[in-house]
């Protein structure tokens, strides 16, 4: 007999053994079921808008008449000062609505957000809307927009975030599509306003978010102010880490301060 023939006979014997074993199992293979993974503490990722600015720390420089222990002058040497450290910051939550109502985001860009603006829709404009912080409320913005003929009362929902106004059309305007608002600025305004359509809605919930790396702000010695690494009203996403909480994995670099301090 040839070697190939002997190998074939051996294969047939092994195959018969497998068939015999399979029949002994009742014709059904016994599968080992893996236990379900323990998902205690697991939560879905989130998309957020920051409520406040954030910096892990800032960089300062040694002033004149500053010396080390050896008597060497240290003028201009940099050093870190903790601001928020590793503490989490509060955020607003948003969620995606594929077939939701039309929503428009009005965004302010710049350092000095002040004065007043008008919003225009369908050839009609609002009265002047004050940008003084205490006046920028959902109630005041709603009252101004409801006077427009194309909107009317109880047909929109306004959410106010730092430097951002989210307007969702509801009521009689639910499911409709309106033109984007136009913005009337004073010619000497030191800021810009951008309007865009969005599918992200206000979840009307809040959370706290940690930043996993050191984010360094900048100290403005002239104004004795901190130019934060993360602006208030910036958009980001975060994932849940058991034992820690939500940790940011993405954050917008936004040109907005609104308090007169320079942009980073």
Reported confidence tier of residue 38, pLDDT bands at 50, 70, 90: very low
Residue 6: pLDDT over 60: no
Q: Would you kindly state where each structural domain of the chain is located, as residue ranges?
A: 46-251
* Alpha-carbon separation of residue 176 from 21, 151, 173 (angstroms): 67, 11, 5
Query: CB under 8 Å to 264, separation ≥6 — which residues?
Result: 217, 218, 227, 228, 229, 231, 253
Rounded to whole angstroms, the Cα distance separating 163 from 172 reads 28
pTM of the full structure: 0.79
**Spatial contact of 93 and 47, defined as CB atoms under 8 Å apart:** yes
Burial class (CB in 10 A: 0-12, 13-18, 19+), 238: buried
The model's pLDDT over 64-118, given as tens digits with 9 standing for 90+, comes to: 788 777 778 888 888 899 999 999 999 999 999 999 999 999 999 988 888 999 9
What pLDDT was estimated at residue 104?
A: 98
pLDDT in tens, 150-199: 999 999 999 999 999 999 999 999 999 999 999 999 999 989 999 999 99
């Amino acid at each position: 007999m040839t070697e190939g023939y002997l190998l074939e006979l051996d294969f047939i014997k092994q195959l018969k053994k497998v068939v015999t074993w399979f029949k002994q199992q009742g014709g059904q293979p016994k599968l080992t079921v893996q236990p379900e993974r323990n998902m205690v503490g697991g939560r879905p990722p989130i998309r957020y808008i920051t409520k406040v600015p954030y910096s892990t720390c800032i960089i300062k420089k040694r002033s004149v008449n500053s010396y080390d222990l050896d008597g060497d002058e240290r003028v201009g040497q940099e050093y870190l000062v903790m601001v928020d450290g590793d503490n989490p910051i509060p955020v607003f939550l948003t969620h995606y609505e594929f077939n939701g109502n039309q929503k428009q985001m009005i965004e302010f860009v710049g350092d000095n957000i002040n004065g007043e603006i008008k919003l225009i829709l369908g050839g009609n404009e609002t009265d002047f809307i004050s940008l003084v912080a205490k006046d920028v409320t959902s109630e005041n913005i709603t009252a101004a927009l409801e006077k427009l003929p194309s909107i009317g009362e109880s047909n929109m929902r306004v959410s106010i975030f730092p430097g951002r106004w989210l307007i969702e059309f509801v009521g009689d305007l639910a499911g409709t599509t309106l033109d984007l608002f136009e913005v009337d600025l004073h010619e000497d305004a030191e800021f810009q306003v951008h309007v865009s359509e969005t599918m992200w809605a206000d979840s009307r919930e809040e959370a706290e978010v940690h930043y996993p790396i050191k984010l360094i702000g900048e100290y403005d010695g002239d104004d004795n102010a901190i130019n934060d690494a993360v602006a208030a009203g910036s958009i980001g996403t975060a994932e849940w880490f058991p034992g820690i909480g939500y940790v940011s994995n993405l954050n917008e670099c936004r040109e907005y301060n609104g308090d007169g301090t320079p942009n980073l």
